[in-house]
Amino acid sequence: MPTDSQVLAIFADEDQTVAAIEAVKQSPWKLDRVHSPIPSHRILAALEVKKSPVGWVTLIGGIIGFFSGFGLAIYTASVWKLIVWGKPVIAYIPFVIVGFEFTILFSVFGNVLGLLIFGGLPDYKGLKNYDPRCSGEHFGVVAICDQEEQNKVIEFFQNQGGEARVFEELAADS
C-alpha cells in the first residue's frame, strides 16, 4: 500500500503562490495547506475559503452577556433593595454600564470559544511540517501525493518557481 507524503513548496512572491495554488487544484494531488507571512485576500480567494462562523459566535456571546449583565444588576438591586433618596430600586440607566461590560466580556469568551472550535486550534500537527521561512517573507504551499509521485510534485513546484521539500511519515498521522 503506498503511503502519502507531503511536499512543501516555498515561494518568494504572492503571485507565484496564487498561481501554484490554482495549478495544484487542477492537478491530481491534494492541496493540504498554505502558509503565509501576511494576511492575503488573493490567497484566500484562490483557496475559496468559506467565511468563518466565529463572528456569529461572538455576536451570540455579546447578546447573552448584555442580558446577563442586566439580569445580574436587576437581581442584585432587587435582593439588596438599597433605596437612595427616592430613586427606584431597579434603575435601568445605570444598569446599561453593567450590561455593556458583560457584553464585552461574553463577546471575548464567545470569540475565543469560536476560534477553538471552528478554527481547529490548537493545531500541533501543522507545526510538524512547517518551514520557519514562512513566518518571515516566504509563502508555503503543501501538497499531498503518493510516495511514488514525489519527484513529479517536486518538479511541478520547481516549474512554478518554487523550492520544494518533502516531508515523510504522513499516512499514520492522518
Q: pLDDT tens, 150-159? A: 999 999 999 9
Q: pLDDT tens, 26-58? A: 999 999 889 999 999 999 999 998 889 999 999
Mean of the pLDDT values across residues 143-169? 89
Q: Which domains does the chain have, with CATH numbers?
A: 4-50+124-167 (3.30.70.1710), 54-118 (no CATH)
DSSP letter at 79 equals: H
Query: Pick the residue with more confidence: 11 or 87?
Result: 11
How is the beta sheet containing 30-35 ordered, strand by strand? 30-35, 139-146, 4-11, 163-167
